[in-house]
Amino acid sequence: NIVHGDIKPDNLLVTSSGTVKIGDFSVSQVFEDDNDELRRSPGTPVFTAPECCLGLTYHGKAADTWALGVTLYCMVLGQYPFLGETLQDTYDKIVNNPLSIPEGTDLQLKELLEGILCKDPEHRLTLEAVSGHPWVVDEEGPIPQYLCFCKSKSFHEEPKESISNAYMTSID
pLDDT over threshold 80, residue 107: yes
Q: Which residue has the higher pLDDT, 43 or 69?
A: 69
pLDDT at 138: 80
Least confident stretch, 22-31, 89-98, 120-129, 130-139: 22-31
Mean pLDDT over each residue of the chain, to the nearest integer: 78
Q: Considering 6, 24, 89, 120, which one is annotated as catalytic?
A: 6
Cα distance from N-terminal residue to C-terminal residue, the chain: 54
Q: Which residue has the higher pLDDT, 37 or 150?
A: 37
Question: What is the mean predicted confidence (pLDDT) over 113-122?
Answer: 96
Question: What is the mean predicted confidence (pLDDT) over 84-95?
Answer: 94
- Alpha carbons 15 and 84: distance in angstroms, whole number: 33
Decide: 65 and 116 in contact? Cβ < 8 Å. Answer: yes
Decide: 73 and 87 in contact? Cβ < 8 Å. Answer: no
Write the CB contacts of 46 (distance below 8 Å, at least 6 apart in sequence): 70, 80, 82, 83, 90
Write the CB contacts of 11 (distance below 8 Å, at least 6 apart in sequence): 4, 22, 23, 24
Best CA proximity match to 113, nearest among 145, 167, 143, 70:
70
Residue 6 a catalytic site member: yes
pLDDT at 62: 87
pLDDT at 18: 76
With a pLDDT cut of 70, the percent of the chain lying above it is: 72
Q: How confident is the model at residue 35 (pLDDT cuts 50, 70, 90)?
A: low
Q: How confident is the model at residue 53 (pLDDT cuts 50, 70, 90)?
A: confident
Best CA proximity match to 130, nearest among 61, 78, 56, 51:
61
Structural domains of the chain sorted by starting position, each given as residue range(s) with its CATH number in brackets: 2-171 (1.10.510.10)
pLDDT at 39: 65
Least confident stretch, 27-41, 56-70, 124-138: 27-41
Predicted TM-score (pTM) of the model is 0.74
- Alpha carbons 111 and 99: distance in angstroms, whole number: 12
